[in-house]
Amino acid sequence: MYKTVLLPVDLDEKQSWRKALPAALQYCRANDAALHVLTVVPDLAMGVTAYIPEDSGHKLIKRARDALAAFIEENIPNGLAASGRVAQGTVYQRILEVAEEIGADLIVMAAHRPALKDFLLGPNAARVVRHATCSVLVVRE
């Protein structure tokens, strides 16, 4: 049923994958699906770039790639087809774009309990659910 599963994670927030990772692994095993793990780093703000070194964006992405490779090595069992990807930009937009690019059948992601500001602005999970063209499993923390 599912052949390509996308798991977005925030490598700095364990709650973004603590419960979503086991769910994604379960779907991958049950369907012999490939797992794509995605982390998104923010764009450097235009006004801030005058104050930071020119290669900071490249260093940020390299650190994220290294951290994602370590995450996959530590958390994805051998024998499961898994790959990692680092994207840069707005979290929910990049999740949706990568899901389209890889032909994801399922996005598995964590969601926190919404705060009042989330009802007004909408958290990433809610935006992904509203706009994804594939199934989305939201795992509550």
Distance CA 99, CA 106 (A): 8
> Structural domain tally of the chain?
1
CATH number at residue 50: 3.40.50.620
- 46 pLDDT band, cuts 50/70/90, is very low
**From the CB of residue 42, how many other CB atoms can be counted at a distance below 10 Å?**
11
pTM of the model: 0.87
Any idea which of 16-30, 74-88, 116-130 has the lowest mean pLDDT? Answer: 116-130
Average of per-residue pLDDT across 79-87: 94
Any idea which of 23-27, 75-79, 96-100, 108-112 has the lowest mean pLDDT? Answer: 108-112
Instruction: Give the neighbor-by-neighbor strand order of the sheet with 106-111.
Output: 82-88, 34-41, 4-8, 106-111, 135-140
5 token code pair: 């599963």
The whole-number pLDDT of residue 45 equals 55
Give residue 117's domain range.
4-140
